Structure formats: structure tokens, C-alpha cells
Amino acid sequence: MSDDAPRTLITGGAGFLGSHLCERFLAEGHEVICMDNFITGTPDNVGHLIGDDNFELVKHDVTTYVHVKGDLDYVLHFASPASPKDYLEYPIQTMKVGALGTHKTLGLAKEKDARFLLASTSEVYGDPLVHPQPEDYWGNVNPVGKRGVYDEAKRFAEALAMAYQRYHGIETRIVRIFNTYGPRMRLDDGRALPTFMGQALRGEPLTVYGDGSQTRSFCYVEDLVEGIWRLLRSEEREPVNIGNTDEITILEFAEEIIRLTGTDSEITHEELPADDPKVRKPSTAKAREKLDWEATVSREDGLQHTLDYFEEQLRTAGELAA
């Protein structure tokens, strides 16, 4: 452990995205404190990092208080349920980690004079009336709908981060994350990609909600992490979209997964959930201009990497179709 290594706290660090960030920051020479209460994350995601002298895993709920001994250079707040299935199962916890958790981690950043990065989301745009979605679009959110617990928690978190920046002079950064995928996603997290892959690999029908005409834009996790790294080190103080602009309908995506897995699974349709966005595609002009960033991993390559991971998970569990 180097005395002059940058020291970084990553909340939600044992989650899908957080675990990849822990890896990246360790590779960049940081000392990393990974903090998670394991509601949706798991120690398995960072198990390969345990034993690294520069890595520390702490089980803690950041909605209570956050105390870290010693100096901190960076605080990355990624703690939150992030899939509709999870935040509908944990609505109060989702609101608390977006509000109280953001307040506690911002307070820690203020105490340590650390730069703070908030993981926000494309969900702040709701069911958008502007397409693609630029950062200056204020969104179309149902604050009292079921999805509002996540949407409004993140909108509040953004407002609080900006208030700390303006009132206390804290160095804050806000990343609005669009649909991201890759290894360490949970097969049961309820999002389209792991659901389709899990169903296909088990030889089950793929479940498409509505007629499947709703669109999404899928960004591979490696590209997202690069964008976050660049944003954290930049001087950009306003929110920045990070996502892939390659848009596809959910029905087309299901058909793509069937071809990729070689399954003979059929597609079934169920009722579209309330307030489900009809379109979702980022405007990334700001990321290109301010961060010199754009997604580079093709969906074909990213899906193959992810499929390999899920196949191994199901094989280990004895659930892989013959």
C-alpha cells in the first residue's frame, strides 16, 4: 500500500457497476474502500479483489451514517437498487439511499475535501417526450407512480449534489447512466437483457412486454466505466449522459438474443408495465465534447462476453438447457 496513492470510497461497490469500478480504480493505482449492504450486491462480485492490499470491503448501510478513517480523495455514490424489479421490491430503501445516502456521502466528501461523483440515471427523463434525451431535457416523470421511487430519488440526489456544489463549494460530478450490461449482472434482476439471456439459455420462451416496439440503447460496462473515469477527472460540473446511441426495439433485441444463443425459444407477450418508457436513447454530444468519450464496444462483442458469463453461471447452477 502506497502512502501517496489516491484513496477512493465506492458505495454500492459490490454491485454490478460498482465491482467493475473497484477493478478500474485499483488498476489505476488507487486504494479502494468498497462499501455495500448487500441488498442487491454480493461479496462474490469482488471476491477476486479480496487479498489486494489496496482493497477493503466494508458491509454498511450508507443511509445511517458514513465514517471512514483517514483521508479520502474521491467518493463515488453508486449504492441503490437499480432495476425495476429491485426498486419495486425495495421502494423505501431506494428512496432512502437516494436521499439520505446521498446526504451522508456528500457530508463525508465535504468533511474530507474529496471530489464526489453521483451515479444518476436515464430514468430522470422518465417516459421522455424528447428523443434522443439531452442533458438539458427536464424529463416526463410520474412522481407518484411505482417507478417514481427510483426516478424521484435520483432527481432529488442530483439536486442535492448541485446544492452542495453551489453552497459548500464541493467538487461534484453527475453521471446519467443509460442501460448498461455485462458480466456480473444478476440473471434475476428483471431487466430485459439478463431475462432474455436466462430464458434462452434455459430453453424457455422469451417474455416481451407490450408489442415490443419500445426501444432501448445498450452500453457495455467497459465503455461506461471509461466514461465515468473521464468524467470524474474532468472539470465538468453539470450532469453528463453516458450510454450507447445504438438504439434497438425490445422485440428486435429478443430476436437477436435467440439468434445469438442458438435456441429455438419462442417469444411471448405480456402487458406493458405502468410508466415503462417508450423510447430510451442518450444524446452523447456533451460526453464527446467535454470528455472525448463515446462507446466503442459493439453490441455483438458485448453480448458475446455477457453470454459467456451467464452460460458459466447457469452451468454452475445446473440450469443450462441441453
Q: What's the pLDDT tens digit per position in 223-258?
A: 999 999 999 999 999 999 999 999 999 999 999 999
Neighbours of 30 (CB within 10 A): 20
- Tell me whether strands 7-11 and 74-77 are parallel, antiparallel or unpaired: parallel
Neighbours of 274 (CB within 10 A): 10
End-to-end CA distance of the chain: 47
Q: Is residue 192 part of a domain?
A: no
Q: Which residues are catalytic, by number? A: 150
Res. 2 pLDDT band, cuts 50 70 90:
low
Q: Is residue 295 part of a domain?
A: no
- List pLDDT tens digits, range 70-79: 999 999 999 9
Chain centroid offset of residue 167 CA: 28
pLDDT reading at 3 higher than 80: no
- List pLDDT tens digits, range 260-318: 999 999 999 999 988 889 999 999 999 999 999 999 999 999 999 999 999 999 999 88
pLDDT in the model for residue 320: 85
Mean pLDDT of all residues in the chain? Answer: 96
pLDDT in the model for residue 322: 66
Q: What is the CATH number of the domain that holds 118?
A: 3.40.50.720
**Angstrom distance (rounded) from CA 32 to CA 9:** 6
pLDDT in the model for residue 231: 98
Neighbours of 316 (CB within 10 A): 9
Tell me phi and psi for residue 254, to 5 degrees.
-60, -40
- List pLDDT tens digits, range 61-115: 999 999 999 999 999 999 999 999 999 999 999 999 999 999 999 999 999 999 9
Q: 3-class DSSP state for residue 26?
A: helix
Q: Is residue 265 part of a domain?
A: no
- Residue span of the structural domain in which 24 resides: 7-181+220-242
Q: Is residue 267 part of a domain?
A: no
pLDDT in the model for residue 103: 98
Residue with cell 439531452: 134
pLDDT reading at 30 higher than 60: yes
> What total of structural domains would you count in the chain?
1
Q: Is residue 269 part of a domain?
A: no
Residue-level length of the chain: 322
- Mean pLDDT to the nearest integer, 140-153: 96
pLDDT in the model for residue 317: 86
pLDDT in the model for residue 4: 86
pLDDT in the model for residue 18: 98
Q: Is residue 202 part of a domain?
A: no
Contact 207/155 with Cβ under 8 angstroms? no
**Angstrom distance (rounded) from CA 262 to CA 218:** 21
Q: Is residue 20 part of a domain?
A: yes
Q: Is residue 189 part of a domain?
A: no
